[in-house]
Amino acid sequence: MNNHDRFVTDTAADIAAIARTEGWLVPPAPIGRIALRPWQQAVFWGLRIYIGIMLVIMGLGFFHVAGG
Amino acid sequence: MSAETDILAPAEADRITYTEELEARLHDRLRIQRLRSAPRGLANRLALGLALIGPGLLVMLGDNDAGGVITYAQTGATYGFSLFIPLMIPLGFIAYLVQEMTIRLGAVTRRGHAEMIWKRYGAFWGAFSLIDLVVANILTLMTEFIGIRVASAIFHIPYLVTIPLAFAFIVGILVFLKYYTWERISLFVAAFNLVFVPLALFSHPDWGAIGRTFTGSGWALPGGLFSAGFLILVSANIGTTIAPWQLFFQQSCVVDKGLLPRDIAASRRDLMLGVIGMVAVAISIIVISGQYLHDLPNAASLGDHSVLAGIGSRLGHGAMVIFALGLLEAGMIASIVITASTAWAIGEALDVPRSVNISPRRSLYFYAPAILGTAIAAGVLMLPHVPVGFLNLTVQVIATVFMPAAMLFLLMLLNDRELLGEHVNSPIRNVLSVGVMVMLIVCNGLYGIATVFPHAL
């Protein structure tokens, strides 16, 4: 452990105790994979198209102003 | 030494081994636990409050970045004391609404935002959101280095010196410090964001005119409601308030700080404090520029140089130096938090050890991509002739373009009862969040139409 100066009052027992009481020794619950529903996929693809179009427009706006 | 040590025998405690990042986090948690169990005096309560602040303040003050400072200045210069002053308050509520969700998601799942998307919806959709984030982050970092570059000129220091120094500082504190020290230093830097507030207070603005903006005075728009100039400023101001990096940053920051469901209330207070700071700074800058830069030509395209020169000529050299200090700080704090957000997000996506508590030799893949992204932005700004001014507005608006997709992932996760249990979103939060997404799309859509078909609206 590196930061001895900061943690001089922390004993191994203190650390072990808080690790147990706050559940740090137990790994977080696994996250199962779920598939996006068709309507969700449609919305995300729609947003992707929206991003693409907006980026082109932002580029046009930028170069229009930057070009005077 | 304390009650908790009674739970385990010393020999048993010694046998437990921890990863580097977990051990540092446990020390941080122990500090908070001791403050919680200490007598409830004013000093202890203050110390506990200070120990629990961090992610919320950093995300909201980091949100007032160099690009944001210039956007607010352009807004004030273009419209003076207008509806943009009262508008900052609902924008603050929107920021709170959005960011609060990341607190619950991080504290309950103990996982970062990119990890949640990656693991819940798969690599394809994870990459989908990660690419948006990294692109937006690099662009935003460029605006931060613009601010640093311009501010350094005021202090007569060549940008070829300040930009590498800033880069070394941003990367150095991320790579070599533990989370707690990194957070405290970042908070110290963030505090300088507030210099704009006294600057506004002492600049003798027309308080009567400012007050009247809250009753509808000055809301008339010279170019009309649907002018491209107005719509881009609306989108840019929203973009300075909520941006994809903020979602990724705050959730991962909550996780790396080790905050748990019992800390959600304190984290909300931390966030609210940050929102108040963000709104106060934003209004201060609009007030300063509305009072003193309103009659400048091409106000909507003012670059950092023009803003500082305008402040200097109207308010004096001292005010210009303070504004430059604020601009420098805004660029620094935003670069610090955006670099961290990239590191956490890519670390989570690659499923490598990911924590500011990790030494660089243990997790090169956590630090390297973020350092590279920040180096690209810094490198571009070391080129001699970089077009600024409108670039700031463009980058702010690009952030809002990416935001609806990022928010949709957030909303889906926040409605996942299997992940969040009782902490899922309430229906009203969902309605408000969808409303924000629709507002973003409509604002940007109108701007797009006004740009492509200038006479259509």
pLDDT digits (tens, 9 = 90+) for B42-91: 999 999 999 999 999 999 999 999 988 988 998 898 888 988 999 999 99
Average pLDDT over residues B197-217: 92
Question: Which residues of chain A lie closer than 8 angstroms to B120, CB-CB?
Answer: 31-34
How far apart are alpha carbons B235 and A54 in whole angstroms?
12
User: In this structure, are residues B142 and B408 in contact, taking their beta carbons and an 8 Å threshold?
Assistant: no
- Sign of dihedral through CA atoms B279, B439, B304, B292? negative
Average pLDDT over residues B205-234: 82
pLDDT of residue B455: 66
pLDDT of residue B10: 67
CA angle B316, B320, B324 (to 5 degrees): 175
pLDDT of residue B249: 97
User: In this structure, are residues B113 and B98 in contact, taking their beta carbons and an 8 Å threshold?
Assistant: no
- Going by C-alpha positions, the residue among B353, B349, B123 that lies closest to residue B248 is B349
How far apart are alpha carbons B361 and B355 in whole angstroms?
13
Contact A20 B116 (CB under 8 A): no
* Paired tokens of B164: 């590498």
Average pLDDT over residues B271-293: 95
**A&B contacts, CB < 8 Å:** 143
Residue of B nearest to A32 (CA): B120
* Neighbour tally for B147: CB within 10 Å: 30
- Is pLDDT at B9 greater than 70 in this prediction? no
* Paired tokens of B204: 């003798």
Half-sphere exposure of B171 (CA within 13 A, CB side): 21
How far apart are alpha carbons B45 and B48 in whole angstroms?
5
How far apart are alpha carbons B354 and B158 in whole angstroms?
35
Residue A22 or residue B238, greater confidence: A22
Contact B12 A22 (CB under 8 A): no
Average pLDDT over residues B138-153: 91
**H-state helical runs in B80-227:** 84-109, 113-121, 123-154, 159-176, 179-191, 196-201, 207-212
pLDDT of residue A1: 42
pLDDT of residue B16: 80
Residue B262: alpha-carbon gap to chain centroid: 24
User: Quick one: what percent of chain B has pLDDT higher than 70?
Assistant: 95
- Is pLDDT at B29 greater than 70 in this prediction? yes
User: In this structure, are residues B395 and B143 in contact, taking their beta carbons and an 8 Å threshold?
Assistant: yes
pLDDT of residue B234: 84
Question: Which residues of chain B lie closer than 8 angstroms to A22, CB-CB?
Answer: 29, 260
Average pLDDT over residues B221-249: 82
pLDDT of residue B5: 44
Question: Which residues of chain A lie closer than 8 angstroms to B359, CB-CB?
Answer: 2
The partner residue sitting opposite B5, judged by closest CB among A1, A14, A47, is A14
* Residue showing tokens 């990194």: B182
H or E stretch at B292: helix B264-292
Residue of A nearest to B263 (CA): A22
pLDDT of residue B301: 65
User: In this structure, are residues B331 and B243 in contact, taking their beta carbons and an 8 Å threshold?
Assistant: no
pLDDT of residue B122: 92
pLDDT tier for residue A29 given thresholds of 50, 70 and 90: confident
Q: Which domains does chain B have, with CATH numbers?
A: 53-452 (1.20.1740.10)
How far apart are alpha carbons A47 and B402 in whole angstroms?
9
How far apart are alpha carbons B388 and B327 in whole angstroms?
14
* Neighbour tally for B129: CB within 10 Å: 26
pLDDT of residue A68: 44
How far apart are alpha carbons B253 and B319 in whole angstroms?
34
How far apart are alpha carbons B234 and B108 in whole angstroms?
34
How far apart are alpha carbons B53 and B267 in whole angstroms?
7
pLDDT tier for residue B300 given thresholds of 50, 70 and 90: low
User: Quick one: what percent of chain B has pLDDT higher than 90?
Assistant: 65
CA of B161: how far to CAs of B153, B165, B401, B424, in Å? 11, 6, 34, 48
How far apart are alpha carbons B33 and B28 in whole angstroms?
9
Least confident of B202-206, B229-233, B242-246: B229-233
* Residue showing tokens 């001014």: B389
H or E stretch at B398: helix B390-414
pLDDT digits (tens, 9 = 90+) for B347-403: 999 999 999 999 998 888 999 999 999 999 999 888 887 766 567 777 878 888 898
How far apart are alpha carbons B157 and B162 in whole angstroms?
7
Contact B26 A57 (CB under 8 A): no
CA of B34: how far to CAs of A19, A24, B3, B13, in Å? 14, 17, 10, 19
Backbone phi, then psi, for B306, in 5-degree steps? -65, -40
The partner residue sitting opposite B27, judged by closest CB among A6, A35, A58, is A6
* Neighbour tally for B192: CB within 10 Å: 16
Where b means 16+ CB within 10 Å and e means fewer, A28-52 reads: eeebeeeebeeeeeeebeebeebbe
Residues 6+ apart with CB under 8 A from B422: none
pLDDT of residue A2: 47
Question: Which residues of chain B lie closer than 8 angstroms to A57, CB-CB?
Answer: 447-448, 451-452
Amino acid A50 reads Y
**Rg of chain B over all Cα atoms, to the nearest angstrom:** 22
User: In this structure, are residues B425 and B101 in contact, taking their beta carbons and an 8 Å threshold?
Assistant: yes
Contact B404 A50 (CB under 8 A): yes
How far apart are alpha carbons B178 and B355 in whole angstroms?
9
